Structure 1
């Protein structure tokens, strides 16, 4: 099973589900561009530590309703850790026949959330699963 970060012990059920989802997407599309975005609140803002899982879910659903025509598919999971608080790991998939890279669309997703909800969110864009990963943070 593929684990992008072998130094981090993932929940086995989630890792298995993510891998099955990714395999299904690769079987469905001849060329697929996966990208990862992590959504979290900055520690120095009132939102950190006071975020609500329901409002965070609604933000992701609203983001998806605005941008779903760009995506071939997606997978996301919400997690809480004392260090990062409530945050979301998001994997988006682009049809590689229609897009050359994921950078522009992943930036667009980040800008949408920042413009719509700019409440001290940090968005980490990590392009290129299964290859060298490049991360960019948007404040």
Structure 2
């Protein structure tokens, strides 16, 4: 996985995330990635907590509810802590590119679900492409276009950074279902 962020990548999380991306692109011909940051608003009881377990529980609830959305086919999340932001999560949701061409309806639904789960104490930031970024979250990920896979690996490398984890790795991802036996056999580009 390529690191463009200037952070030190954790070899373990990098391996897990790379494997997850590989499994997702092996299963789905076209994916869209929705990246969000989840946190607790300042001056709330949840923000004042010194325990990560509440956030883990609520992030898992969010994943469970979001996976019920038609276009959502997967997720990967990590939890970190900083003095300024407290416990917070970095999340990617995988959307089936054959079902949807845009991420904003799911982004809106995620915000609504998160707000309900956290009783409006949860904050949410949608991570979007900016011109100075070297990789683009808005590009679709195709199983047979290696550059699209490299691009999403660069975008998501931030989730595997060592900083703000202090050797304490809290993460989760979906089980990737096997590819159906029906359909055309895939053709991969020759290397």
The verdict on how the C-alpha distance between 1:64 and 1:132 changes in structure 2, with shifts beyond 3 A counting, is closer
Residue aligning to 1:93: 94
Q: 1:75 offset after TM fit, Å?
A: 0.9
> Within 2, Cα distance between the matches of 1:43 and 1:83?
9
SS at match of 1:48: helix
Deviations 1:54-100 (A, max 9, x none): 22122122222222132211111111222221111111101100011
SS at match of 2:5: coil
Residue aligning to 1:2: 2
Answer yes or no: is the 8 Å Cα contact 2:63–2:75 preserved in 1: no
Unaligned runs of 5+ in 2: 130-134, 139-191
Larger Rg belongs to: 2
RCO (CA 8 Å, sep 6+): is it higher in 1 or 2? 2
SS at match of 1:74: strand
RMSD over aligned CA atoms reads 2.3
Q: Which consecutive segments of 4 or more residues in structure 1 shift more than 6 A?
A: none
Answer yes or no: is the 8 Å Cα contact 1:102–1:127 preserved in 2: no
> Within 2, Cα distance between the matches of 1:22 and 1:123?
24
Bigger fraction of residues in strand: 1
Deviations 1:97-116 (A, max 9, x none): 00111111022111111133
> Within 2, Cα distance between the matches of 1:73 and 1:132?
16
Answer yes or no: is the 8 Å Cα contact 1:49–1:86 preserved in 2: no
Q: 1:39 offset after TM fit, Å?
A: 0.7
Q: 1:132 offset after TM fit, Å?
A: 5.3
> Is residue 66 from structure 1 mapped to residue 56 from structure 2 by the alignment?
no
Give the TM-score normalised by structure 2.
Answer: 0.60
Deviations 1:12-71 (A, max 9, x none): 211222122112211211110111111111233332231532221221222222221322
Unaligned runs of 5+ in 1: 134-139
> Is residue 115 from structure 1 mapped to residue 116 from structure 2 by the alignment?
yes
